[in-house]
Amino acid sequence: MNKIRKVVLSIFGILTFGFIIALNLPPHGYDHRSPIERLKVEATKTQMKMLSSFLVTLYREREFPKNIKELTEHEVFLEYLKEKQYSTNQILVDAWNEKFVYRRLGINNGVLISKGPDRTLGTPDDITSLPRSAW
């Protein structure tokens, strides 16, 4: 009887330990990225929000640009860069120094895409200005 009691207590202890570990994990599992990678993701998201709001403001009454080159040649965009003392190369790259990918989704919409930490387009770590379900 003593042996059964020890086995039951051992199983209970293991389950309790596992439950405590599970409670301390983030809601979507363990985030294996380093703090620097997480900061880069947040910096890229912030930059994309700024560029997206600029696109919406600039093209509110016109078509969205067909490509990134059309945006970079727009005189209002160039004035904005000059005012903020940014170069085109600084503002159109993500935190991994990769160029943003721009896809026009129609005359009134477009999406900016960062290739993310793996620097490969079309992988789960890509960062987008719109949810994938929207495009």
Q: Please say whether the beta carbons of 112 and 127 come within 8 A.
A: no
> For residue 115, what pLDDT is reported?
95
Q: Please say whether the beta carbons of 123 and 76 come within 8 A.
A: no
Distance in angstroms (rounded) separating the CA atoms of residues 104 and 86: 24
Q: Name the pTM for this structure.
A: 0.69
Residue 109: phi and psi, rounded to 5, are -160, 155
Write the CA distances from 51 to 25, 26, 29, integer angstroms: 33, 30, 31
Q: For residue range 6-63, what is the model confidence (pLDDT) as tens digits?
A: 766 677 667 776 667 666 655 555 567 788 998 999 999 998 988 888 888 777 777 8
> For residue 59, what pLDDT is reported?
79
The first and second tokens of residue 20, run together, are 């405590």
HEC-encoded secondary structure of 60-102: CCCCCCCCHHHHHCCHHHHHHHHHHCCCHHHHCECCCCCECEE
